[in-house]
Amino acid sequence: QIEANIDSFVKDNTLENLTLQSTNKMQRSIIVHEIAETAGLSAFSFGEEDVDRHVVVYQKEFTPVPDE
């Protein structure tokens, strides 16, 4: 499911980012971040672990700068 969501995101040139559902640490590190990197995207985790930690995937040109 995660891979399908990211694949759809890559194909839609109108979207700047994609917020994925909360996932556990293993899914985020192994699945989401690796899929995003392979697809040429940036991915960052946000939220509190075991509460609402989730990943936002960005098209490279819309990757936030450190101050954002």
Residue 26 lies in a domain: yes
pTM: 0.83
Which range marks the domain in which residue 2 is found? 1-58
Please tell me the total count of domains within the chain.
1
Residue 66 lies in a domain: no
What would the pLDDT profile of 17-44 be if each residue is shown by its tens digit? 999 988 888 888 888 888 999 999 999 9
* CATH code for the domain of 35: 3.30.1370.50
Mean pLDDT of 57-65: 91
Residue 47 lies in a domain: yes
Residue 65 lies in a domain: no
CA atoms within 13 A on the CB side of 17: 13
Nearest to 62 by CA among 14, 30, 3, 26: 14
What would the pLDDT profile of 39-57 be if each residue is shown by its tens digit? 999 999 999 988 899 999 9
Higher local confidence (pLDDT), 53 or 67: 53
Output the pLDDT for position 68. 60
